[in-house]
Amino acid sequence: MKEILADVEQEREMAEAQKELQRGENMIKYRDEINSRPKKEWFMGAGKRGEIARDSKDDLKRIKTKFEDQLGNLEHNRNKSKKKREVKREEKK
């Protein structure tokens, strides 16, 4: 069993090495083409991305608070209804 696992691991390492070798060859072969490509442009800067992230977190906090408030109201109403039922049962006795 150990031999099989060792063979599988060795094959995986060989495949990884082959892939890295092919990548290196392509980097050398197509160097001019790769270097002639324009640099990537970001649609927004780091400041704008940070602002959007902060706004998203604030929105999630507001949603969470609203949800917890509604959940609290539901529990309050359930408890109120439960007390009413208990009072009615006591009155019937």
Find tokens 């990537």 and name the residue.
40
Whole-prediction pTM? 0.39
Q: Residues 32, 51: one domain?
A: no
State whether residue 38 is helix, strand or coil: coil
Residue 20: the pLDDT is: 96
Q: Residues 81, 44: one domain?
A: yes
The 10s digit of each residue's pLDDT in 22-76 is 999 999 999 999 999 988 777 778 888 889 999 999 999 999 998 888 888 777 7
Residue 80: the pLDDT is: 74
Q: Residues 82, 48: one domain?
A: yes
Q: Residues 48, 90: one domain?
A: yes
Residue 44: the pLDDT is: 79
Residue 49: the pLDDT is: 86
CB 27 within 8 A of CB 34: yes
Q: How many domains does the chain have?
A: 2
Residue 74: the pLDDT is: 75
Residue 93: the pLDDT is: 66
Range of the domain at 32: 1-37
Residue 45: the pLDDT is: 83
Q: Residues 28, 45: one domain?
A: no
Q: Residues 33, 2: one domain?
A: yes
State whether residue 30 is helix, strand or coil: coil
State whether residue 45 is helix, strand or coil: coil
